Structure 1
Amino acid sequence: MGVLLVNPPSLSGLEGRGLGGTMSYFEYELSFTDEHWYKSYPGEHLGLMALVAVLRGAGIPVRSVNGQTECHRFVDQTWQAMLAAGREIDVDLIGFSGPCQVFEENVDLARRARRQWPHAKIVLGHQFATLNYHRILSDYPEFDIVAIGEGEATIVPLTAATGADSLAAIPGIAWRDDGGKVRMRPPPVEPLDLDTLPPIARDELPDVMRIGVSPTVYTTRGCPYRCSYCTTGQTAGLLHKKLGYRERSVDLVVDEIEQLIADYRIPHLTLVDDLFVAKTPESYERAVRFARTLRERKVHIPFMLDCRLDSADADVFRELAEAGLYRVFIGIETGSGEQLTFYNKRYGERYDVEYVRRRVGGLQELGIEVIPGILTYHPATTAEELRETLNVIDACGYESSWQFLCEVFAHPGTTLWKQYQRAGWLAEEWPVPAWELRDPRARQVRDAVLEALDAGGGHVEARAAFAAALAAHD
């Protein structure tokens, strides 16, 4: 009995730019990103490494292949690594992971795996798989099972399953019965207690350190919000409702950080929570406790995290900054309050450019670098919205040409994807959705920015092109 876990390399974006086979994903990112930003990219696949830890604890042989951190330039490199790993164990179960952007790579590798190990169970996991399990199992015979939700709860029972009847006894999976019908058994009502899980395996960390991206730790799982474009919140809502957002013990998290510093001499850290702190007194108190625990235990390490705009409380973040927080990514999304409502963002207070300026400026005054996440375009973007978004970009004071190009991504299975699908806005709906701008004025603005960047411009030139194209419509 043995398990092979696989994360394919993300190559579709490179191929779309005519760079397929010339470099890996991280090599491409480094080619246009300065080291200051590149070093905070999360490198490890904590999901797979959590499964490795659980399987080892159960005494089950396991090997993992991460084509991303191994800097594969071709899917065939990942396949060769799988073959090498398969020579070390008796492969009974193969688990694939990844978002929709690597689904075709996963299908390719699963087909090869089926031929190589015809008796092995082939499982697909990830939020993408959870939200689209029925379509995947209906249309892709390469996959026998979809893990619905948290793989730590299902991976060991799956290794012992011998047929459809035994699969039916495992909560938290979808599968095909003997008649080919897709079945799904929901996860347990009570989700996993994160503090009871074994420490994450760190097999990938040497590669992460070598290529210069960031070691990672998670302190929460899930999200209490239900933004229409986000797979995390909607997966949490599908599986456990309010229990979909859970927090790890602060002391255990700091223990883990101390261990990483001692064992690997990590120079910095990225907290990969989708939402480190929510806008509640309890969450604020936990964030402060985390900061003070780091200081009290003299754990000195620069770290980065993500948060919502409405949870960026200056008093809380002052404590975090004193503990080492140097960079925050904030999903601001748009300058349009109406579009923010459409995304189901739910700030619960008036949203305008002054609100953005106060929140972002409060963190910047603490010496924290704020990276604003801007979704500049959606299918129905108007020139009027783009003016509002330009004001928000300026209010954030962060210089990046990509702010003038970012588009909302409609992940399959999300509310946003379903809305776009019903409206007929998706030029491609599966597995990697694509849409076109409907307003020709918005297209002209985007094209002007692209032209400025193609000519070698940066933030200043991109902003000037953006503003000039808007002014042409006044």
Structure 2
Amino acid sequence: MPDSAGILPLPLFSSSLKRDTSRPVMLIGFQHQGNLGLGYLASTLREHGYSVLTCDFEAETSEIIESARQSKPMIVGFSLIFQFYIRKFDALMQALRAAGVDCHFTIGGHFPSLSHEETLRMLPELDSVVRFEGEMTLLELADVIGTGRDWHDLQGIAYRGTTGVVTNPMRSLVDDLDSLPYPERNFEPEKALGRKALPLLASRGCARTCSFCSIQTFYRTAPGKIVRTRKPAKVIEEMQAMHEERGISIFLFQDDDFPLFGPVWRRWAYDFVDCMHRSGLAQRVIWKINCRADAVEPEIFTAMRDAGLYLVYMGLESGNEEGLKTLHKQVSVEQNIRAVEMLKQVGLLFEFGFMMFDPGSTLESIKQNLRFLRTILNDGCAAAVFCRMLPYDGTPIKDELERAGRLLGDVCAPSYDFLDPRVSKMYNSLSQIVDVWGWIHGYRALSPQLNWAWNEVAIMERLYPGIDGLEEYRRRLAAVTKKSNDVLFSVMDNLLEVAEFDAAERWDNARLDALRREFLEELLRERDAFVEHNQSTMLRVLRAQPVQEAASA
């Protein structure tokens, strides 16, 4: 127990040392969709007696400043997920300093861990960088700062020294994930049709080596086992607690690659399925995973479906062999198509990531990508989404582009040139004609809203027995989804003709925006009418839930 000054014994390092928990630690990061990284940091600190104040980076700066003034933290820790926001983090830090917040500033995340020197250069108000998995490093940093000891020799940090950046020895990755307390989730659950959803993790790390992804570099740079899984029973215990205490019935696994690939992880997945059935959760909740196409097999996915799996996200990334090679996906186009078909056959919803453009793109590879998307989406089962590959810091492809003299832009907006100027012409024309933030990207865009409607279909199918007219609604939703996809594909066809044969452009932004609005109105009209028609059924099902779930619904 702490004494009157908030001092705790320090068993983690030495029983003769003291831990001063009288001042809180403030954590700032993106909270949209739930930040489990901050959650694990907060719960670890709390487990050792500290109070923690977590702030949403997207809150008003004045609110964050006022919270810091009132709480007087010993440390402000920042969580930088996307390097594109580094200048906004700099502005917030400067505003906090100008307001008199003079405590220790530290930061963590993929970019700060892999590019700590650049981070310290671009964020002058920082005192330190916590590199890689930060639970134990941040705890130790709080311990030494709270008791007035020197922090500069701590394992796992970097800071500015008198002659340059000092990079201390790295701390090993957490070996036993079940030794960590459940992450703190002080954010609101996502909601869908009266149901609540929250994220969780069954594992950390990724064994794959995609050239465009900093995740694999992150876990390979620090010492320790790259991929670590929790015990299935422990994951189920956490799900059970979330279900009973907060009424969560939709679980969103945020594992970079859900444990499925290979015999060891396949056994883990079957154990997890067994635990789901024994706990009774398989009949009461549904869940979503991220995985690769080469992990999709009918037997295990049928078993997971029967245990509540309803949505599978796959990073398909490319529909041509050269693109897959450039991105080092180590899968084939055939495997990607086979995975999609198998998910459809076993009745699972799927979403996907796709890079229409990459550093090796040619007009022919773009044509192949379009043929691929038409193949997997020809039935209107999902909305078309695609993007241009971005060269993140810490990725092999960024380093390769830099060596080749093709890396353009800066840290906040990295880019590259295409080898074929016709591809550049096509990409620039696409950016001018299609409002990608209105059609493809962003939560209010058409494609994400179509895919959200498909998500609702799966939720109704699994959690609302007795829904009337679901198959007819599915047919109508597929029709509007297919119309949207066909327009996007037609635009791409035309721009290919323009780039290759100097043909006339048949599309413009105004015409496309009018179609986008038309499709969106049709979607909302069909969706709202269907939900209204089944509202009484859904309310009846909700009221029939166990007391603890209904009370928090």
Q: Where on the TM-score scale, by shorter chain, does this alignment land: which range?
A: 0.7 to 0.9
Which of 383, 387, 401 is matched with 1:406 structurally? 387
Give yes or no for contact 1:401–1:462 (8 Å, CA) kept in 2.
no
Shift of 1:223: 0.9
State the SS of the aligned residue for 1:188.
coil
- Residue 489 (structure 2) aligns with: 463
CA spacing shift, 1:228–1:165, aligned 2, 3 Å:
farther
1:282 aligns with 2:264: yes
After TM superposition, list the pairs within 5 Å mapping 1:381-396 onto structure 2.
381-396=361-376
After TM superposition, list the pairs within 5 Å mapping 1:166-177 onto structure 2.
166-177=150-161
After superposing the two structures, state which structure 1 stretch, 416-425 or 382-391, moved more: 416-425
- Residue 313 (structure 2) aligns with: 329
- The Cα offsets for residues 2-45 of structure 1, whole Å up to 9 and x where unpaired, read as 21100158xxxxxxxxxxxxxxxx7xxxxxxxxxxxxxxxx111
Give yes or no for contact 1:267–1:302 (8 Å, CA) kept in 2.
yes
- Residue 53 (structure 1) aligns with: 43
CA distance in structure 2 between the partners assigned to 1:374 and 1:190 by the alignment: 30
Shift of 1:86: 2.2
Q: Higher relative CO (CA 8 A, sep ≥ 6), structure 1 or 2?
A: 1
Identity of aligned residues (%): 23
CA distance in structure 2 between the partners assigned to 1:195 and 1:51 by the alignment: 14
Which of 75, 92, 99 is matched with 1:116 structurally? 99
1:416 aligns with 2:397: yes
- Residue 535 (structure 2) aligns with: none
Shift of 1:452: 6.0
- The Cα offsets for residues 242-294 of structure 1, whole Å up to 9 and x where unpaired, read as x1211111111111111111111123121000110242101111112212211
Determine which structure has more spread, i.e. the larger CA radius of gyration.
Answer: 2
Shift of 1:90: 2.7
After TM superposition, list the pairs within 5 Å mapping 1:154-233 onto structure 2.
154-162=137-145, 166-177=150-161, 179-189=162-172, 191-205=174-188, 208-209=190-191, 214-233=197-216
CA distance in structure 2 between the partners assigned to 1:146 and 1:118 by the alignment: 18
State the SS of the aligned residue for 1:304.
strand
Shift of 1:344: 2.3
Give yes or no for contact 2:290–2:313 (8 Å, CA) kept in 1.
yes
Which of 107, 110, 118 is matched with 1:135 structurally? 118
Shift of 1:118: 5.0
After TM superposition, list the pairs within 5 Å mapping 1:264-275 onto structure 2.
264-275=246-257
State the SS of the aligned residue for 1:458.
helix
Give yes or no for contact 2:260–2:269 (8 Å, CA) kept in 1.
no
Shift of 1:226: 2.0
Unaligned runs of 5+ in 1: 10-25, 27-42
Give yes or no for contact 2:173–2:222 (8 Å, CA) kept in 1.
no
Query: Match of 1:54, as an amino acid?
Result: T
State the SS of the aligned residue for 1:319.
helix
CA distance in structure 2 between the partners assigned to 1:307 and 1:363 by the alignment: 12
Shift of 1:164: 12
- Residue 2 (structure 1) aligns with: 24
CA spacing shift, 1:448–1:93, aligned 2, 3 Å:
closer
- Residue 235 (structure 1) aligns with: 218
TM-score, L = length of structure 2:
0.71
- The Cα offsets for residues 176-195 of structure 1, whole Å up to 9 and x where unpaired, read as 23x15211223334634110
1:309 aligns with 2:293: yes
Query: Match of 1:47, as an amino acid?
Result: G
State the SS of the aligned residue for 1:268.
strand
Query: Match of 2:265, as an amino acid?
Result: S
Which of 325, 337, 352 is matched with 1:341 structurally? 325
1:363 aligns with 2:343: yes
Shift of 1:337: 1.9
CA distance in structure 2 between the partners assigned to 1:214 and 1:459 by the alignment: 28
Query: Match of 2:107, as an amino acid?
Result: L
CA distance in structure 1 between the partners assigned to 2:404 and 2:260 by the alignment: 32
Shift of 1:93: 0.5
Which of 84, 97, 103 is matched with 1:101 structurally? 84
CA distance in structure 2 between the partners assigned to 1:304 and 1:118 by the alignment: 41
- Residue 252 (structure 1) aligns with: 234
- Residue 20 (structure 1) aligns with: none
CA spacing shift, 1:82–1:180, aligned 2, 3 Å:
farther
CA distance in structure 1 between the partners assigned to 2:355 and 2:286 by the alignment: 28
Query: Match of 2:48, as an amino acid?
Result: A
- Residue 34 (structure 1) aligns with: none
- The Cα offsets for residues 110-133 of structure 1, whole Å up to 9 and x where unpaired, read as 112233345411111001111110
Unaligned runs of 5+ in 2: 1-22, 440-482, 502-553
CA distance in structure 1 between the partners assigned to 2:92 and 2:495 by the alignment: 45
Shift of 1:85: 2.3
Shift of 1:97: 0.7
- Residue 429 (structure 1) aligns with: 410
CA distance in structure 2 between the partners assigned to 1:296 and 1:236 by the alignment: 33
- Residue 136 (structure 2) aligns with: 153
Shift of 1:430: 1.2
CA distance in structure 1 between the partners assigned to 2:34 and 2:47 by the alignment: 20
CA distance in structure 2 between the partners assigned to 1:355 and 1:50 by the alignment: 36
CA distance in structure 2 between the partners assigned to 1:122 and 1:213 by the alignment: 35
Shift of 1:471: 5.2
Query: Match of 1:321, as an amino acid?
Result: R
Give yes or no for contact 1:94–1:120 (8 Å, CA) kept in 2.
yes
Give yes or no for contact 1:148–1:186 (8 Å, CA) kept in 2.
no
Question: What is the RMSD computed on CA atoms of the aligned residues?
Answer: 2.8
CA distance in structure 2 between the partners assigned to 1:214 and 1:426 by the alignment: 39
Give yes or no for contact 2:408–2:417 (8 Å, CA) kept in 1.
yes
Query: Match of 2:354, as an amino acid?
Result: I
State the SS of the aligned residue for 1:186.
coil
After superposing the two structures, state which structure 1 stretch, 332-341 or 208-217, moved more: 208-217
Shift of 1:402: 4.9
Which of 29, 38, 53 is matched with 1:63 structurally? 53
Give yes or no for contact 1:49–1:202 (8 Å, CA) kept in 2.
yes
Shift of 1:61: 2.2
CA spacing shift, 1:147–1:190, aligned 2, 3 Å:
closer
CA distance in structure 2 between the partners assigned to 1:394 and 1:186 by the alignment: 50
State the SS of the aligned residue for 2:78.
strand
- Residue 89 (structure 1) aligns with: 71
CA distance in structure 1 between the partners assigned to 2:86 and 2:244 by the alignment: 37
CA distance in structure 2 between the partners assigned to 1:67 and 1:414 by the alignment: 25
TM-score, L = length of structure 1:
0.82
State the SS of the aligned residue for 2:158.
strand
CA spacing shift, 1:257–1:176, aligned 2, 3 Å:
same
CA distance in structure 2 between the partners assigned to 1:197 and 1:286 by the alignment: 20
CA spacing shift, 1:401–1:257, aligned 2, 3 Å:
closer
